[in-house]
Amino acid sequence: MRILHVIHSVDPRGGGPIEGIKQLSAPMIAAGHRVEIMSLDQPGTPWDGAMPFHPIGRGRPGYGYAPGVVDWLVQHAKEYDVTLVNGLWQFGGLAVWRAARKTGQPYGVFTHGMLDPWFKRRYPLKHLKKWFYWPWGEYRVLRDAAAVFFTCEQERRDARGSFWLYRCNEDVLGYGITPPPDAAAAQLAAFRAKFPELAGKRLLLFLGRMHEKKGCDMLLRAFARTHDDLHLVMAGPVDDAFGQSLQRMSREPALAGRVTWTGMIQGDLKWGAFRAAEAFVLPSHQENFGISVVEALACDRPVLISDKVNIWREITADGAGLIEDDTTDGTHRLLARWLALGAGERQAVAACTRPCFEKHFQVEGVARHLLERLSHLK
C-alpha cells in the first residue's frame, strides 16, 4: 500500500504527532509498504526520518496557509492509495479536503486529541474563534473523511463535546510505539555522562513539551510541597514564555537545587533518562494518548499520571502506575503515594509495566489494524 501522511511540521519540538507517524510507519515500511510525508515546512527543512519527505509550505507558524499545496496533492494523487491528515486547525487538512474533491481519493484523519473539550473550557475566546472557522473548515474535513481515527474510546467520546455541529465516520484504532533499542546499559551511561551531577540521586522524570496542558506548573508546585530526597528532571524544550516562567519557579527556595532542566533530549539520552528515573510523572489536563507514558512503560518504569491521560484505565487495570486528578492537590497526592511505598512495593509496580506495554501498546498490532482499515477505505 502507498500512504501519504500530511502534517503541519516535522519539527520534533511539536510533540507527539510526528513521533507517532515515525513509530506507526516503521513496521509498515519493514513489511514492504510505501510511506511518505508531506508537510507545510519550508523547502530545505532537515529531516531524519526513514521515509521520503516533501516540505512544500512556507514554514510559517500558526495556520500555515501556503499556495500550491492543493495543486501538489492533486498532481501526485495517483502516486498514493490513501492520504492521512495528522492534526486539525491547520491548512494541511483543508488542503487535503479540497484536493480530494477534485481527485476522489479517500483520506483519513488522526485528530490527535485536538477535539478534546478541555481546550473549549480553558480557552473560550479561542474556541469562539474556531467556531467561525469550523462550519466551512474542519467540520467538512471530518465529515467527508473516509475514517476519523481515535486512539482510544475516551478520545472518541470526548471529541463529540467540542462542537454541536459534528459528523464523521469514527474509528477507534488504538496507538502504540516501537520498544526502545535493547541497549539499556549504553543508554543509561549516555545520560549519566551528560548529566553527572545527577549520579546517586533518586529521580522523577517529566519528559515532553513545557505546555500548560501538561500540568508542568502544577507538578512544580506539588513537588515543592514534598519533603524527601527525590530530584525532579524536566526534559523538553524551553523556548517560550511559559517554559521560562517554569524555570523561574524552579529557582524559588522550596525548589532550588531540586530540579534539573535538560532541554530536549532524543535517542540514547532520552531512553537513558527513563532508565535513570525511578518513575515517570505526567499530571496532564488533556492527553489523548501520551507517547511518553508508553515509552516509560516500555522501559519498565512506573507512571504517575492524571486521570485526564486517556490510557489511565489500562494502566490502572494492570497495576503499572498511580492515578490522581489533574489538580495541584491531586499531583501532590501522586507524589506522596509514591513516596509512601516501600522498596518492594515500588518494585512490584515496576514489574507490571512492561507486561502492560506489551499487552496494549505494541505498535506492530496497531499498524496491522490500520492497514486493514485503510484497505477498505472508499
Q: What is the pLDDT of residues 325-339, one digit of tens each?
A: 999 999 999 999 999
Q: pLDDT value at position 298?
A: 96
Here the cell at position 362 is 505494541
Query: Which pLDDT does position 373 carry in this prediction?
Result: 92
The reply to whether CATH 3.40.50.2000 applies to domain 184-360 is: yes
Q: What is the DSSP letter of 287?
A: B
pLDDT at residue 146 in the model? 96
- Beta-carbon neighbour count of residue 167 at 10 Å? 11
pLDDT at 117: 81
| Model pLDDT, residue 107 | 97
CA 229/CA 246 separation, integer angstroms: 21
Position 55 scores a pLDDT of: 95
What CATH number should be reported for the domain whose range is 2-176+362-374?
3.40.50.2000
Q: Could you give the CA distance from residue 366 to residue 71 in angstroms, rounded to a whole number?
A: 32
- pTM of the full structure: 0.82
* pLDDT score at 204: 97
All three cell numbers of 339, joined, read 513516596
pLDDT value at residue 9: 93
Flag residues of the chain having pLDDT under 50: none
In this predicted structure, what is the pLDDT of residue 120? 85
Give the per-residue pLDDT at 277.
97
* pLDDT attached to residue 71: 96
Q: What local confidence, expressed as pLDDT, does residue 175 receive?
A: 84
Q: Looking at residue 61, what is its pLDDT?
A: 77
Q: Cα-Cα-Cα-Cα dihedral of 242, 243, 246, 251, to 10°?
A: -130
Domain with CATH 3.40.50.2000 in the chain: 2-176+362-374, 184-360
